[in-house]
Copies of this chain bind each other. A is one copy, B any other.
Amino acid sequence: MAEVKVQTHRAMADRFSSRAEGMKRSPIRELLKLVNKPGLISFAGGLPHPGSFPARELAEICHEVIQSGAEISLQYSATEGLTSLRDLLVSFMAENGLKLDREELVITTASQQSLDLMGKIFLDRGDLIITENPSYLGAVSAFKSYGTNFLAIEMDEEGLRTDLLRRELEALQRRAGRDYLREKLKFLYTVPDFQNPSGITMSLPRRRELLEIASEFDFLIVEDMPYRWLRFAGETLPMLSALECGPDDRPCSGFRRVIDLFTFSKILSPGIRLGWVTAAAEVIDKLVQAKQSADLCTSALSQRIAEEFLKRGLIPARIRQNCDIYRRKLAVMLEALEQHMPKAPGLCWTRPQGGLFLWLILPEAMNTEQMFAAAIARNVAYVVGASFYPNGGGHNTMRLNFSFPTEEEIREGIRRLAGLVASWQ
């Protein structure tokens, strides 16, 4: 009998990094796959409505930037991005209240990359960051993968509770010492406009208060602005990055403390994966070094498309059209909630002035994770709110997206959801 050669090897699962062992698939990305279940109405995604894509203009632009400039649009670009696009975005930011030099702006492969790069350049294992509670899941996952701890601060209708933030920081300083905060506390992450997931906008007094606290405790602020130009109601508030500047358009303290993340995903198309970051030149420089390892450079084709779209002055019309679509959809969702949801103590929802999401809070005794299978059985989906709490909590909350479903689907979906809530009480 021939000798049998036995192969022994370690299982693949034992070969991953400790970082990778802690990774989980995002519940939202996994939920996106359910969108294809026939008959299911999904409030779970965060997708712009495809009807809102400027397909005709983009098809033409794309053809042109390849046909007449392939040596740029099909080639590698500099890691910082195309100079022509950076300069256009510097002008665009100036129109939006933030004056910058080119060296203070860099192109990224959309905001998720910007978030990951924030982690890469700032976070060591055991560092501390501050977030709103709840906070954007994609940011929390990215930061968590760097082994960071979270100080998650509750919100009310004016956004992050700066009074609680101050109290928590003072307590932490007493408990752990000033040096601990100085060394470990790297930044506060916020989505001030139409927050993901809550839909809440930070008020002007809170913005000012937050900047004061940041200066007092000397931490940076990462201001994520994916929905900045999706305001359907109320007045535009100044960005934190603009508020920290004086009449000479430079930071009053001489130190640019706010880092802004922007994306083309909601004003043009998420399919081109394009965003930009504004920050102190030193931060941009470090970010570029990290980006070289992450993906060398962002798609030159995407950059040229966005550049042409900006140059032709098509952005304002696109923003208006988006706002019109989403304002209407939000109104339909609010109306349906009013009409169908049972009147129960503690059951309420937010009324956003923009963005893609609203936040539904059920009575304390209910648990949206436990209800999820029943929701799918009724052919309606949402995102379990607990996913957005960095340190746990929020069992009775859910995030509802109103940008993707049609108005009819919104009405019918909320009816189904309300039926589920009523049956579950």
Contact = CB atoms under 8 A, between A and B. Distances in A.
Contacts of A26: 292
Given A76-B270, A270-B76, A271-B76, A296 B23 contact: no
A425 B124 CA distance: 48
Contact of A220 (B15, B25, B186, B253): B15
Best-surrounded residue of A17, A20, A60, A79 (most CB of chain B within 10 A): A17
A6 to B, nearest CB: 10
A298 interface: yes
A270 B13 contact: no
A9 B21 CA distance: 37
B74 A272 contact: yes
Given A288-B25, A299-B299, A70 B53 contact: yes
Interface stretch (A138-146, A227-235, A380-388): A138-146
Interface string A231-253: 00000000000000000000001
B50 A74 contact: yes
A411 B286 CA distance: 38
A155 interface: no
Given A10-B218, A122-B16, A301-B302, A29 B79 contact: yes
A298 B283 contact: no
A113 B64 CA distance: 28
A71 interface: yes
Contacts of A293: 23, 112, 115-116, 138, 141-142, 145
Given A9-B218, A16-B121, A271 B73 contact: yes
A122 B282 contact: no
A287 B116 CA distance: 15
Given A109-B295, A300-B271, A289 B9 contact: no
Contacts of A70: 50, 53, 55, 58
B74 A270 contact: yes
A67 B55 CA distance: 6
A56 interface: yes
A7 interface: yes
B218 A16 contact: no
Interface string A26-68: 1001001100000000000001101001011011101110110
A78 B32 contact: yes
B12 A282 contact: yes
B50 A58 contact: no
A18 B13 CA distance: 28
**Chain A interface category by residue count:** 35 or more
A158 B294 CA distance: 31
Nearest to A7: B253
A343 interface: no
Contacts of A280: 12
Contact of A123 (B17, B116, B299): B17
A158 B212 CA distance: 64
A17 B187 CA distance: 12
A211 to B, nearest CB: 12
A17 B121 contact: yes
Interface in A264-289: 265, 269-273, 280, 282-283, 286, 288-289
Interface of A: 7-10, 12-13, 15-20, 23-26, 29, 32-33, 47-48, 50, 53, 55-56, 58-60, 62-64, 66-67, 70-79, 109-110, 112-113, 115-116, 120-124, 127, 138, 141-142, 145-146, 182, 186, 215, 218, 220, 253-255, 257, 265, 269-273, 280, 282-283, 286, 288-290, 292-302
Given A23-B290, A75-B270, A77-B271, 4 more contacts: A12-B282, A23-B286, A25-B292, A50-B70
26 contacts: A9-B215, A15-B186, A17-B122, A17-B123, A20-B120, A20-B122, A23-B121, A23-B293, A29-B292, A33-B78, A47-B75, A53-B71, A60-B63, A62-B66, A63-B63, A72-B271, A75-B270, A110-B296, A112-B293, A116-B293, A116-B294, A116-B295, A141-B293, A271-B300, A301-B301, A301-B302
